[in-house]
Chains A and B, each alone.
Chain A
Amino acid sequence: MEMFVLVAGAVAAYVLGLGFPRVVAGWSGRRRGIESVPRSSWAVAARVDTVVLDRWGTVTTGRLMVTTVDPLDPDHLRNLRWFAGALEHEAEGPLARAVARLSPRGRVTDFCVVPGSGVRGSVDRHPVRVGRPSWLGMADRTDRGTVLGVELDGRPLGYLVVGDEPRKDAGASVLRLTSAGVTPVLVSDDGSRETEELAETCGIERWHPEIAAEKRERLVAELQEQGRVVAFVSSRPEDAEAQAVADLAVGGSSGVRLTDLDVRRVAELISLGRGVVLGRRWAGPVALVPAVAGAALAILGAGSIPLAAGCALLCLVTAAVAAAIPVARSGNLSRA
């Protein structure tokens, strides 16, 4: 009878040790913005050694920002911000939203979009145009990012340069990945110079500018051919094919869902995945120790049913603790 109790406890503890790490990782992940992870994806996440990051929302906030406000006359700095920002409040798209953040809303009339050129309208009855410098008869510039000219009352007022808004901790998050042996690869629909600058800012050594959706799929395949386990992080519908090819899809319609695509959350996902694997690896064997001890006491004649029950219970507790500790300690992204 004593042996039966001990065997039952050991089996239950072993089963608990296999499943409990995933439960703990789920709890922990939700607190860190990892909303849902398919059952099989934890193990894949633990094996990922290459993360392909689409620039929108991963190392950037997903928004654009005005990086330069350059009036032709320094006294017009505030006027440049005000009139361009007020006009762009009426426009749509990330570029317009970036410029619109320069100022509050204003009284805009006669607004219209000129396809391929820019926007125009009247702010407080002053005619304003914002768009390509050549459209406004202004000299082109070679700044990194998208250069916009601003015209007020028929006179050139100055330039705005719009670029990506990198996440503040993007560099640290990328470093966390690379420290754990994960290679980040940046893919971008932006120009070469802009992508290079963003990659440098975040500490990413490998980057691919102006890369179309089908090329992204090929890139993933090439990485896999090199023996890499690839996670593809993107929220763009165009990247669905590439995500389908990848070992782990993050941010798409299926696969892992995150609150946002912040590269920090991706690092934490991989970290938790490794914690789950480690927990499962250790929880089963460790949970058997109290059962073995109880069996030894029974063989030596010191056993009893209450003692056997206590050992069985101890097996369960040990399995739970042994499963939880690696997951809880998974902030340290060491290899499982």
Chain B
Amino acid sequence: MTQTHQSPGLPGSAVWMLKSLEGEVRPIARKITGHLREGLPAETEGFEELIFTAVHGAMSHFIDLGLGRSAPYIAIDDHFRKVGFKVAALGQDRAIVDQGIHMATTELWDELRRRAVENELSAAALNALNEMMTTYVEHLTSQVGKGFEAGTEARDQDNDVARARLIDRMLSGASADEIEVQAALGDWTLPEKVTVMAVELRDGERILSDALSATALTRRREPTQVVMCPPHDTETVTKQVRAAAPKARVSICWPVPPEDVPAAWRWANRALALVNARVIPAKPVIDCLAYRTEIWLHAEPVMRRQLAQELLEPLLAESANSREILTETLLVWLETRESAPAIAAVLGVHPQTIRYRWKRINELFGESLRDPEFVTQLLLLLKASVPLWVAGDQSDFDRYQQQTG
């Protein structure tokens, strides 16, 4: 865009107001930049100067246009195209820029309206300003779009960026076609099934993609670092991850089809959370397949807690120690339906202790234990909860007691 706009023919009062605004462009642009940083996603961190330059430049140019001065579009258009290009090159969504423009426009318009009220500007003058501003913003938005397209094209040529975008697409559940396209752009052979790993890094550890096989994809994604690879490379990639970050804990989900990668990512991260809750043993490498039940049963923590408070109400009068050992025994019995000596062998106690506990359990739960529905729910609940309680987490009961006073 190289043309110079003619004066839009604003009413005199509007021109006067724009003139009064001219000396305050910088502080207003700074204020808007600050608000934008607060309102925009964390990904825009480090973009302050870019945003400020864009806002300041756009405001100055807009005022020049409003005052009928000669104001070529070249510099401002170029700047907004650069913004679009940079956002695309970094693999971010264009919506971030659109959101920023919308927020800046809204804030600037609020400022104009406030001044219009103070200066008793006519409605006609305000409408003229609004029309001019809308047109101007549309123009800038189109420049961003052009820059974003160029950036996307350039980014597609960059393997690393393309792979980063592939990871994002796979984790966000993009369509199979989209994933295939991104995989092709990233020069990554999309396998029938994918192994997803969540790596919990410690002490500033980092895993660069160079440290892993070419068949592996990796990127930092909160709360952990994601690693994806074909199932047959899992062992090799795991060793490479361990070598690159020896203190890290790796949670490896079982192979899943590409469309299930978001779920696998969630499961792998949940397994790590369960390790931290001491439900799953704290090993350096967590095989999620071995803890599928726990991962599943902890998918709804609030429901689990509510069920615990509802189904295990008879246990609330017991001490924490008594609750723990009775539920532990009940769980083993529900799982095995074995005799007292067999359960005693599992728990490492005397058979008479098991008989005593069983008598107490029957006293507490009574006929409920003959209700298949109750027993099924109880089994699932205990399977999910007993490891928590054994690990010392009695919050289920504490919370209930706080609620009921």
Q: What residues of chain A have their CB less than 8 Å away from a CB belonging to chain B?
A: 75-76, 78-79, 82-83, 86, 103-104, 106-107, 123-127, 152-154
Contact = CB atoms under 8 A, between A and B. Distances in A.
Interface in B340-383: 348-350, 352-353, 355-356, 359-360
Contact of A127 (B321, B355, B360): B321
A282 to B, nearest CB: 64
Contacts of B360: 153
Nearest to A86: B350
Contacts of A78: 352, 355
B396 to A, nearest CB: 20
B319 interface: yes
User: Helix, strand, loop or mixed for chain B's interface?
Assistant: helix
A154 B323 CA distance: 13
B325 interface: yes
Contacts of B349: 106-107, 124-125
Contacts of A125: 321, 325, 349
Given A126-B325, A126-B353, 5 more contacts: A78-B352, A104-B350, A106-B350, A107-B348, A127-B321
A106 B349 CA distance: 8
Interface of B: 319, 321-322, 325, 348-350, 352-353, 355-356, 359-360
Contacts of A123: 350, 353
Q: Among B322, B349, B353, which residue has the most Cβ atoms of chain A within 10 A?
A: B353
A78 B352 CA distance: 8
B359 A153 contact: no
A249 to B, nearest CB: 47
A153 B325 CA distance: 11
User: Helix, strand, loop or mixed for chain A's interface?
Assistant: mixed
Contacts of A82: 350, 352-353, 356
A83 B348 CA distance: 15
Given A124-B349, A124-B350, A79 B325 contact: no
A124 B353 CA distance: 7
B361 to A, nearest CB: 13
Nearest to B324: A125
A73 to B, nearest CB: 9
Q: Among A76, A126, A152, which residue has the most Cβ atoms of chain B within 10 A?
A: A126
Nearest to B319: A154
A99 B185 CA distance: 80
A127 B353 CA distance: 12
9 contacts: A79-B352, A82-B356, A106-B349, A106-B353, A123-B350, A124-B349, A124-B353, A153-B319, A153-B322
Nearest to B349: A124
Nearest to B321: A125
Contact of A75 (B319, B352, B353, B359): B359
Contacts of B353: 82, 106, 123-124, 126
Contacts of B356: 76, 79, 82-83, 126, 152
Top 4 A-B pairs ranked by shortest CB distance?
Answer: A124-B349, A82-B352, A124-B353, A79-B356
A79 B349 CA distance: 14
Contacts of B350: 82, 86, 104, 106-107, 123-124
A63 to B, nearest CB: 24
Contacts of B319: 153-154
A111 to B, nearest CB: 16
Nearest to B352: A82
A125 B321 CA distance: 8
Contacts of A83: 356
Q: Among B319, B350, B355, which residue has the most Cβ atoms of chain A within 10 A?
A: B350
B331 to A, nearest CB: 15
A85 to B, nearest CB: 10
B326 to A, nearest CB: 10
A78 B355 CA distance: 9
A256 B318 CA distance: 60
Contacts of A75: 359
Nearest to B360: A153
A125 B390 CA distance: 13
Contacts of A103: 352
Nearest to B348: A107
A42 B321 CA distance: 66
A178 to B, nearest CB: 46
B33 to A, nearest CB: 62
Nearest to B344: A124
Contacts of B359: 75-76, 79
Contacts of A124: 325, 349-350, 353
A79 B356 CA distance: 6
Contacts of B322: 126, 153
